[in-house]
Structure 1
């Protein structure tokens, strides 16, 4: 169980880091081009959310394959783990989006 929780935390924080890093570092391009960095940061956060989830779980094909084989072979535990990994990635990415939204909404 320890390995599962460690991997779940790894996935969560990877998605969170991708959201925060991608949005904040990406908004530096706005400074270089003379655009508003807040608007670019919020736009990037909306656009990269799904990619942060996919990158955090290590690509969708492995997860889909495990889900498929788990469902077809009756491996409920494998299906539950993959769904929790996807949920962890989504939670990390969404928390990153909330943080970016909070940063971008302050004047």
Structure 2
């Protein structure tokens, strides 16, 4: 059971990381084509995609809510623990990608 939790956490981490990385790079291409500054747009897009990357990584919000409900009402504390750990892993992927862009772009680009 723990093995599956670690696999799910790793998948969620890299899904969230990929959503931020891919969305920011593709979005900056669009801003370049419209004449905006791509580096400034990269930071703005990465900042705006954070919550969506977490939602995409955990598979949508309804699955998370149903797992919390099952954990609370059916007394399955492992389901609550598993969902919290998956959300934390997704948040870690988002933060890692965001820090990567901050590192590549320098400090906050305004």
Measure, in 2, the Cα distance between the counterparts of 1:69 and 1:94: 29
Residue 38 of structure 1: aligned partner: 39
Mapped contact 1:57–1:63 kept (Cα < 8 A)? yes
Which digits, 9 at most, give the CA deviation of each residue in 1:26-62, with x for residues without a partner? 1011211111101100000010100000000100111
Measure, in 2, the Cα distance between the counterparts of 1:92 and 1:24: 16
Mapped contact 1:12–1:56 kept (Cα < 8 A)? yes
Residue 94 of structure 1: aligned partner: 95
Comparing 81-90 with 94-103, which one deviates more in the overlay? 94-103
Residue 67 of structure 1: aligned partner: 68
Which digits, 9 at most, give the CA deviation of each residue in 1:54-73, with x for residues without a partner? 00010011111110120122
Coordinate RMSD, CA, aligned: 1.4
Structure 2 unaligned residues grouped into runs of 5+: none
Measure, in 1, the Cα distance between the counterparts of 2:20 and 2:63: 22
TM-score (norm 1): 0.93
Structure 1 unaligned residues grouped into runs of 5+: none
Measure, in 2, the Cα distance between the counterparts of 1:65 and 1:46: 28
Q: Is structure 2 residue 54 aligned with structure 1 residue 47?
A: no
